[in-house]
Every structure is written in C-alpha cells, then in structure tokens.
C-alpha cells in the first residue's frame, strides 16, 4: 500500500464458546472496531483520538491495546516511521465481545498493510497478543486469533502457540445480547479455581472434542449437546443477574445453546437461520430490558475473513 493513511475494521469475537475456555473462538460480522493510521513526518507515535466509549482508555501508546503491538513491530523491524492513530470503539469495553482484541488486531493489521510489511498471520498474532495482554493481564488468544484469522479457531497450544482453523456449518447463526454492565476480564479470571477435578476435566475434554467434531461434521445435534462448560461459566454466571432467565428465554425461543461469551456479560446462542436467530435475540433481550438494564443485540453469522481495509 502506497497511501499515507489507512482505515481498517477488526471484528468482535465470541470466545470460550461453551466448553472451549481459553482455546476456542470465532469472529463476528458485527460489531467491529475501526482503527485509522496516518503517517507522520517525524518518528513519533501519537493516539490522536479515541471515540465510542465512556470508559477512559489510555492515550499513552505503550498502555493502549491498539498501539502496544504497533510499537513492538516498529521497534523489532527497525522501522523509522511516525504514526498518528485514531481508535473508534464500536463495542463495549468489558462486554465479552473481544473489544480489546479487536483494537489490538486492528492496530497491527493496519500497520502491516500501511507499510506493506507482509508479516504472516502468525507474526501478527504474536504482536496482537502484546496489546491484548495489557487489557486482560493474562495471555489468552481465543479472541485475538479469530479476530485476526477470521472463522472458527482452536488454540491447540499456547507454548508454542498453535492455531487451528476449524470448518463450520455455513448456516450457523449467532444471537448475541450485550447487557449494559461491565465485567473486567482480569477480575472475572480471578474467580476461577486453579484446579479442576478429574471428572470435570474428562467431561470438558469430551465436550470440547464434541463441539469441534460437530462443527466439522455439520452435526447440529452434537454441537448442541457439547455446549457445556465446567471451568468458567458457573463461577461467572453470578456476575450476570439474569443469567438463568436469559438462558431459559433463549431455549424457549428454540436456541441450540445459550452461553456466556468470554468473561461476559454478553451471552450468545446458536441457531440455524437468521429468522430463528432474530427471534432468539429478541427473547434474550426482553429479559435484560425487563430487569431495567440497557441491552444491545446483534445477529451474526461466523465472519470468515477477519479484519478488512475500509479505506
């Protein structure tokens, strides 16, 4: 790319996906953050503008998820560029929709394109994780990887990091409700037990394998049976005042599952048509509104592409 500026979109993502705590995620078509980079004449990096959030985000580039990865790229590749950055948040911070991952991926994807660096997905993943770890205070790739690669992703291993793209049924739809409460991933991770019993570990492995097999075999019944988590959901459900009610409403409306995405508070449900997904989202959202909370709902297929250039 020979332009002096670039505007990119980086998608939200659903992480954990039932039994896939820290190891599974998929990208959504909407919402998604927008990041704009402009070359400067000097070698400085500034965050010029952050919009779309009432949460105060740092303007110091080293402390911001969108710019930490860019700084590392410029430094490690010995690139003498100065950049002005604009971050336009299009999803809630602490929503469970991979907000920090979208900004982190948006930043590194944008700099790679703007400077025609031709970094591999694997390298971009490494740099995106630098940004993501600032927000969550832990390394987890189940938002960053799907946001960057698109599609449904299995993080098979963290050391070394091993990303596996999983085939999925093309008619799978996702209903998402985002209640207007904030849950910090770093706080929600503190709720988790350090140990899991053998019985739960066996059951979790069975469900995780079942979900992957179900996706690859296009077996909706197997996907439905596998959407059970024994590690995070029971602990974190206490942070969502209407967790049980949302699940009940989703199942009554015909959903295959209803789970927390990431550390919440957003919850998601699968179905097999847009029409059904809309009905399910409306039922889930009615519960949240009934409790007097704000609620944004999204309907999305699985986004196979990941980030994209907008201009």
* Residues composing the chain: 311
Residue in 22, 30, 86, 219 binding ligand HSE, rule: CB under 6 A? 22
Task: Write down the residue that tokens 């459900």 correspond to.
Answer: 237
Q: How far is the CB of 262 from ligand HSE (least distance, A)?
A: 3
Asked, as a colleague might, if the bond just before 31 is cis with ω within 30 of 0, I would say yes
Q: How far is the CB of 193 from ligand HSE (least distance, A)?
A: 13
Residue in 18, 61, 179, 262 binding ligand HSE, rule: CB under 6 A? 262
Q: How far is the CB of 21 from ligand HSE (least distance, A)?
A: 6
Tell whether residue 128 is a contact of ligand HSE (CB under 6 A). Answer: no
CA distance 9 to 7: 7
Task: Write down the residue that tokens 């402009």 correspond to.
Answer: 38
Phi, psi of 192 (to 5 degrees): -80, 145
**Which value, in Å, is the radius of gyration of the alpha carbons in the chain?**
19
Task: Write down the residue that tokens 């959407």 correspond to.
Answer: 227
Tell whether residue 95 is a contact of ligand HSE (CB under 6 A). Answer: no
- Nearest position to ligand HSE, beta carbon: 262
Q: How far is the CB of 237 from ligand HSE (least distance, A)?
A: 13
CB 84 within 8 A of CB 38: yes
Tell whether residue 285 is a contact of ligand HSE (CB under 6 A). Answer: no
Q: Which two tokens stand for residue 183?
A: 């849950």
CA distance 121 to 23: 17
DSSP 256-283: S--EE-TTSS-EEEEESSHHHHHHHHHH
Which SS3 state, helix, strand or coil, does residue 148 take? helix
Q: How far is the CB of 82 from ligand HSE (least distance, A)?
A: 32
Tell whether residue 297 is a contact of ligand HSE (CB under 6 A). Answer: no
Instruction: Give the number of other Cβ atoms within 10 Å of residue 109's Cβ.
Output: 27
Judged by CB, which is closer to ligand HSE: 45, or 232?
232
Only one of the segments 66-74, 136-144, 150-158, 281-289 lies at the binding site for ligand HSE (rule: CB under 6 A); that segment is 136-144
Residue in 95, 103, 263, 300 binding ligand HSE, rule: CB under 6 A? 263
Per-residue mark of binding to ligand HSE, 189-208 (x: CB under 6 A): x-------------------
Query: Which of 61, 76, 56, 19 lies closest to 225 in space, CA to CA?
Result: 19
Judged by CB, which is closer to ligand HSE: 27, or 232?
232
CA distance 58 to 158: 28
Only one of the segments 16-24, 152-160, 162-170, 216-224 lies at the binding site for ligand HSE (rule: CB under 6 A); that segment is 16-24
Only one of the segments 59-67, 68-76, 140-148, 241-249 lies at the binding site for ligand HSE (rule: CB under 6 A); that segment is 140-148
CA distance 304 to 146: 9
Residue in 232, 256, 281, 283 binding ligand HSE, rule: CB under 6 A? 232
Considering CB under 6 A, how many residues would be counted as binding ligand HSE? Answer: 13
Q: Which residues are catalytic?
A: 132, 185
Please report which helix (H) or strand (E) contains residue 126, including its range: helix 121-136
Tell whether residue 143 is a contact of ligand HSE (CB under 6 A). Answer: yes
CA distance 195 to 179: 30
Q: How far is the CB of 270 from ligand HSE (least distance, A)?
A: 18
Tell whether residue 235 is a contact of ligand HSE (CB under 6 A). Answer: no
Binding site for ligand HSE (CB under 6 A): 15-16, 21-22, 96, 140, 142-143, 185, 189, 232, 262-263
């Amino acid at each position: 790319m020979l332009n002096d500026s670039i505007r990119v979109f980086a998608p939200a993502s659903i992480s954990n996906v039932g039994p896939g705590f820290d190891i599974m995620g998929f990208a959504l078509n909407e919402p998604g953050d927008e990041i704009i980079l402009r070359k400067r004449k000097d070698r400085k990096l500034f965050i010029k503008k952050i919009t779309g959030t009432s949460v105060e985000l740092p303007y110091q580039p080293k402390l911001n998820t969108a710019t930490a990865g860019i700084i590392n790229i410029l430094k490690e590749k010995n690139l003498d560029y100065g950049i002005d950055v604009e971050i336009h948040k299009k999803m809630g911070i602490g929503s469970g929709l991979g907000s920090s991952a979208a900004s982190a991926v948006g930043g590194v994807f944008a700099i790679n394109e703007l400077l025609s660096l031709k970094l591999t997905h694997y390298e971009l993943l490494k740099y995106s994780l630098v940004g993501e770890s600032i927000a969550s205070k832990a390394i987890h790739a189940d938002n960053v990887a799907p946001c960057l690669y698109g599609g449904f992703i299995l993080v098979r291993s963290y050391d070394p990091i091993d990303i596996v793209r999983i085939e999925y049924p093309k008619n799978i739809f996702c209903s998402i409700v985002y209640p207007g409460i904030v849950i910090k991933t770093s706080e929600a991770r503190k709720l988790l037990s350090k140990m899991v019993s053998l019985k739960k570990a066996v059951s979790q492995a069975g469900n995780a394998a079942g979900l992957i097999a179900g996706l690859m075999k296009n077996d909706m019944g197997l996907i439905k049976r596998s959407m059970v988590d024994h590690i995070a959901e029971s602990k974190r459900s206490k942070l969502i005042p209407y967790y049980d009610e949302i699940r009940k409403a989703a199942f009554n409306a015909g959903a295959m599952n209803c789970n927390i995405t990431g550390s919440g508070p957003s919850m998601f449900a699968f179905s097999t048509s847009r029409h059904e997904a809309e009905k399910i989202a409306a039922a889930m959202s009615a519960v949240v509104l009934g409790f007097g909370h704000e609620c944004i709902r999204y309907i999305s297929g699985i986004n196979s592409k990941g980030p994209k250039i907008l201009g």
